[in-house]
Amino acid sequence: MKELKDKINRLKKEKGAVILAHYYVNDEVQDVADYIGDSFYLSQIAKKAEENTIVFCGVSFMGESAKILSPSKTVLMPEAAADCPMAHMAQKEKIQSMKEEYGDLAVVCYINSTAELKQLSDVCVTSSNAVKIVRALPNKNIFFIPDGNLGRFVAQQVPEKNVILNDGYCPVHAKMTAAALREARQQHPKAEVLSHPECIEEVLELSDYIGSTSGIIDYAGKSSGKEFIVCTETGVFYELVKNNPGKSFYPVMEHQVCEDMKLITLEKVADVLEYGKNEVFVSEELREGANVPLTNMLKLGK
């Protein structure tokens, strides 16, 4: 593994590339990244990176968003097939009919979405800025796509808005049940519960803190608590354990894994760096359309 990591570091310099990784990728892939973070942080880095090549260790909407925000850069995906199922869970026809029904509608699109959905939207959000951005919008009526769980969480935080929910969901977070969480709390009665807003309502109701992957990591670092039950993908445990010797972190159930994120391996990172494989291309028309909500997010989410 050391040889492979050395090879990646050498190729990175030779090719003038920067490696971005989401917290859900394998630990050893996080090790070779120049930047690790949540979706909002990584999109900010993709926009301002000075290197000509971005290797994005994440799923396809992440690489696509990086290319849209930084069209002159080469964006490479270590695994082209790594996709987020939720990114496809909204329908163009439904968005059009909502726009016709509500005159002042703002379509708010979770960044976990295809560029085709983004181009039909007014603003993108991530789990770390969705509440802030929706609150700041002048519109009363909001159609929140594609994640119904994050949408409902935002609606509860911003009761002055009429947030219309869509029925998309993250299969990884939706699998974490309140029954499993109650059982984990019985086993660890002193633990605080840290949850991602992609979790179902019953899980969020039992949580002490709700936030993005970075939010969860920050909260655990600052908390005086010593034990935590973590309701999100297990990739975050690497950073949580590294940053917090003396604190214990427990999953809520046995397998809370995003298989798509785990498709990214060191071998694939080295391969795309060496051969320039899996470059992301977005048509200019689509790029222009999807760039508007993404740029609005960077402005409003700051």
| Residues forming the site for ligand 13P (CB under 6 A) | 38-40, 84, 112, 126-128, 170, 196, 198, 212-213
Which of 115, 111, 118 lies closest to 95, judged by CA? 118
Does 215 bind ligand SF4 (CB under 6 A)? Our answer is no
| Tokens 């290797």, residue located | 55
How far apart, in Å, are the Cα atoms of 226 and each of 133, 177, 222, 259?
33, 23, 11, 29
Q: How far apart are CA 30 and CA 19, in angstroms?
A: 9
> What distance separates the 2 farthest-apart alpha carbons in the chain?
59
Q: Which does 194 bind (CB under 5 to 8 A by kind): ligand SF4, ligand 13P, none?
A: none
CB under 6 A: which stretch of 166-174, 212-220, 273-281, 290-298 binds ligand SF4? 166-174
Q: Which residues contact 16 (CB under 8 A, 6 or more apart)?
A: 51, 52, 53
Q: 91: which 2 tokens?
A: 């329908």
Q: Which residues contact 116 (CB under 8 A, 6 or more apart)?
A: 92, 286
Single residue of 59, 89, 134, 252 touching ligand SF4 by CB under 6 A: 59
Does 38 bind ligand SF4 (CB under 6 A)? Our answer is no
Does 233 bind ligand SF4 (CB under 6 A)? Our answer is yes
Single residue of 195, 260, 280, 289 touching ligand SF4 by CB under 6 A: 260
Residue 152, Cβ density class (10 Å: 0-12 exposed, 13-18 middle, ≥19 buried)? middle
Q: Which does 43 bind (CB under 5 to 8 A by kind): ligand SF4, ligand 13P, none?
A: none
Q: Which does 85 bind (CB under 5 to 8 A by kind): ligand SF4, ligand 13P, none?
A: ligand SF4
Q: 48: which 2 tokens?
A: 């301002």
Does 115 bind ligand SF4 (CB under 6 A)? Our answer is no
CB of 22 to ligand SF4, least distance (A): 8
Residue 39 or residue 65: which is nearer to ligand 13P going by CB?
39
Q: 238: which 2 tokens?
A: 């690497």
Residue 112 or residue 139: which is nearer to ligand SF4 going by CB?
112
Residue 171 or residue 221: which is nearer to ligand SF4 going by CB?
171
| Interface positions with ligand SF4 (CB under 6 A) | 24, 59, 84-86, 112, 170-172, 198, 233, 258, 260-261
